[in-house]
Structure 1
């Protein structure tokens, strides 16, 4: 008989009083965990001397996922005390929370959140994020240039500073209010009464509110001609994205506001919310920059623009998608001023790198394919390979859409169909330029694949990228495109598959024991688990509570030999070709490279399990170390 929601306190006396106990109660109430599950975590907690939250232990045991943990917080935020919530979000440790609670006991009139911040354990933006999660209120980016001064100047600066509450926009029957103290109903009620409008309340960081009021005070607290606030908001978003090393910016319309999220290390992170009216003006400005039709908000559109922000020049590919709440915009950031990585800097394990250079790139003719899904770092690896091959005695010519990095000494062509430089036309023209090495941004279809193969047949070296799951999938995709197997076997030199995975945050890196099931699934056996130290990030301000900061790459290099070529000619299955490749070419899978990087302490077993394609079997740790050139 399942445990009823009412029985958890009887079954586990004093559960709520334990560190993280409230979270455990909710897990039982929601049916996510059983009483037995929680008791198991409590036994571990007792052995550790209550040094970890129940939720942390459940996650380490593999019984609770990070996604489920965040979902529970969002759903039940109001049931947590703010100190508990800050701890559950990973901003502080349990020991730090206990220290803050002791200090709170000697600080009458203060709240635990304020005490934690005064102790320097969190930043005020993290406190604002926690309040946003607890009260299910939007977190807003606030600045003098995004606020309506005509609304601001209706209230005394002293009043707004005292209550840490500002009205920043009024429209129709509503007034938008930002506050760092959402429980202060007095200030909110006063604003509603004076403006005769219903309040729509958002959370803002205290520093943002005080900064806004200081700027307003410096300006005399009066309205007047403000500088272009929309342009400043756009610049602020772009600058923040560049500083955070974001790969994409998402501006997403919601009911009454727009959510701004950045993709950091492959994962979307919420950054700010914009008032609905302001977000529409921000989108209009970005559409102008991208040379899109600002008068048309009913069609999906694409555009691009180039801009230098904080001394970083980047190309922004802009795409809009019409939703029920308006236009959703995504901007892919392509940095052109970050420099091309040297081939030694692409996170390739030493053994794989040596083979890639000497058995793939140094071969004078043939096709080298770099494959993986969108956002897997193929372009960076392609440019690193071009940089390695770029010599005064060699002519390299490219066709790209667009040119993402400028490489001195090579001939680069950016596709422009409107100017008569389509991809197909450029491919045909480049063959008449007497190249030694041809670089194609991507094999898109059968014609481009045929050009690559024909170029290799005539004695050229061809580098290009492809969208497939793994290295063997690259071979099968060429066959599916209608390229004859004898052409594939005689022209393709190697296929390099890759993925990007997050690396452990160095600021909060701690030893831990991975989930046994997940570790086994990526090839780490029980003996290796017992005899090695593993690491993960516990979550901090640097990594936005994720435990990860930065990314590294996993690689799978297939260098074709006679056995593999014969398997292609015989049209053997992908399973058979992979088995032959592993046995005769020392092919190491993406999963095996991931396992190696877990053992090096670069990433976690959970991250490799999330990203790497499954392998039917993996080599021993000793064999992987040997093939990776470990210790050489």
Structure 2
């Protein structure tokens, strides 16, 4: 039992009597105890109170620009508006844990609240069935969604002011077997708008990428699955190159995070405002730099290439497993080889690996053969000293805290242009890129394992199928 006064035998005796267990006291500070009480019991006290106050009306918002004022966890737990307090507490705890998503999943007897922290889902709370609907209604109210509509999927946004720091939460609800399921994507500007130097590039890859950032025109593609950090890379890039002398225009579906220095255009398919229709008109807006959320079809690809051919720098994304596969993807869409060779600057595949927690990091030794079993390109022999996290309070016992990118960047060259025009295979083009200095995802992952940034297990989890 954590106590701030281990010499208080009366308190220890009372705890033993109440629990019928032998108590072993551990010294802790009052502030740590208060924090843990708020973390583990604050939300539950709000939920318990909400069960007996569900007849009270939910608070609605006056207008779209209304902020949700998130209090500290201690304040949220003592609020009179119990459902509101529970939602505020959930939001606040998600921010404290650096979660990227909140999942509220109804089951037969209860609902689960899960947070995606550093890319992995953790069950944090369990909601009584009767409270689940009230919590969903509160969230839908904040997001300006139709509270009465429970049969159709809905989307909304919540603007959050947390201790003076603005952020946004993107809300999606869908009907499932036992009620409405909600997923809330947390859009934190501190994460989305980082310095490019801090997202995980090696010195070699950083130099190559910065050359692309300062190119006068052409297309650069970022590839990877959903959740691999593509938006963070592109937003961080635009933030760094957006100067008062540049007109930066983005076309997004949806706009992830509003930035004052960008002119951001949302795609609206119901109004026939698509990527391709916007791009057909965007050149009249005199852009210098264009960011396209995703190239999904031939029309969008051709319009992006046309923008690059007329002297604009274009950034976009594709869903491919590696960097060189972006060429095959463009060819599959129907783009002519000569258009790819004349406009494509290069492409970058990326993934996110969890960082070893610095608070509980320790060294250990492992054989090179074992490391090869993780699929890593190990050239060393014998035993190798690496690092791993033991698990502590700061990392919730996981051994990991935060995430870092791993990258694979290829730059267009005369030889690769000729190979594209000649119809060479993807394997042949990849071999040329390797000969010209491209580091693969697995190689970059191994570099970060050797550097003590991540672990072999994490490298395998992220790159195992690549």
Offset of 1:113 from its aligned partner? 8.1
On the 8 A contact 1:117/1:124 being kept in 2, the answer is no
Distance 1:338-1:605 versus aligned 2 partners, 3 A rule: closer
Residues 1:256 and 2:109 aligned together:
yes
TM (norm. structure 2) is 0.83
**How many angstroms apart in 1 are the aligned matches of 2:82 and 2:22?**
31
Moved more, 458-467 or 259-268: 458-467
Q: Report the structure number with the largest CA radius of gyration.
A: 1
On the 8 A contact 2:356/2:399 being kept in 1, the answer is yes
Offset of 1:109 from its aligned partner? 6.8
Distance 1:524-1:257 versus aligned 2 partners, 3 A rule: same
Matches for 1:96-107 after TM superposition, within 5 Å: none
Matches for 1:67-466 after TM superposition, within 5 Å: 115=23, 118-120=26-28, 142-148=43-49, 227-336=80-189, 340-358=193-211, 360-416=212-268, 421-466=273-318
TM (norm. structure 1) is 0.62
On the 8 A contact 1:248/1:262 being kept in 2, the answer is yes
**How many angstroms apart in 1 are the aligned matches of 2:465 and 2:130?**
46
**How many angstroms apart in 2 are the aligned matches of 1:474 and 1:112?**
64
Cα offsets for 1:244-303 (capped at 9, x unmatched): 111000011123211101000000011111111111100111122223332232333333
Offset of 1:590 from its aligned partner? 0.7
Distance 1:298-1:413 versus aligned 2 partners, 3 A rule: closer
Equivalence for 1:481: 333
Offset of 1:420 from its aligned partner? 6.9
Equivalence for 2:362: 510
**How many angstroms apart in 1 are the aligned matches of 2:228 and 2:192?**
18
**How many angstroms apart in 2 are the aligned matches of 1:568 and 1:419?**
37
* Greater share of residues in strand: 2
Report SS of the residue matched to 1:540: coil
Moved more, 451-460 or 118-127: 118-127
**How many angstroms apart in 2 are the aligned matches of 1:556 and 1:150?**
51
Offset of 1:513 from its aligned partner? 2.9
On the 8 A contact 2:51/2:130 being kept in 1, the answer is no
Cα offsets for 1:540-589 (capped at 9, x unmatched): 22212211110010011110111212222233222222111101x20100
Offset of 1:112 from its aligned partner? 11
How many pairs align? 432
Distance 1:334-1:515 versus aligned 2 partners, 3 A rule: farther
**How many angstroms apart in 1 are the aligned matches of 2:427 and 2:21?**
56
Equivalence for 2:60: none
**How many angstroms apart in 2 are the aligned matches of 1:457 and 1:316?**
37
Equivalence for 1:176: none
On the 8 A contact 1:511/1:536 being kept in 2, the answer is yes
Cα offsets for 1:423-458 (capped at 9, x unmatched): 333222211122222221222222111111111122
Offset of 1:142 from its aligned partner? 4.6
**How many angstroms apart in 1 are the aligned matches of 2:259 and 2:129?**
42
Equivalence for 1:621: none
Moved more, 600-609 or 375-384: 375-384
Offset of 1:408 from its aligned partner? 4.4
Residues 1:495 and 2:380 aligned together:
no
Report SS of the residue matched to 1:486: helix
Offset of 1:242 from its aligned partner? 1.2
Report SS of the residue matched to 2:46: helix
Distance 1:445-1:306 versus aligned 2 partners, 3 A rule: farther
Distance 1:342-1:109 versus aligned 2 partners, 3 A rule: same
**How many angstroms apart in 2 are the aligned matches of 1:488 and 1:499?**
24
**How many angstroms apart in 2 are the aligned matches of 1:523 and 1:110?**
57
Equivalence for 1:198: none
**How many angstroms apart in 2 are the aligned matches of 1:424 and 1:454?**
12
**How many angstroms apart in 2 are the aligned matches of 1:603 and 1:114?**
40
Distance 1:547-1:126 versus aligned 2 partners, 3 A rule: farther
Moved more, 347-356 or 322-331: 322-331
Q: 1:596 aligns with which of 447, 451, 466?
A: 447
Offset of 1:338 from its aligned partner? 5.7
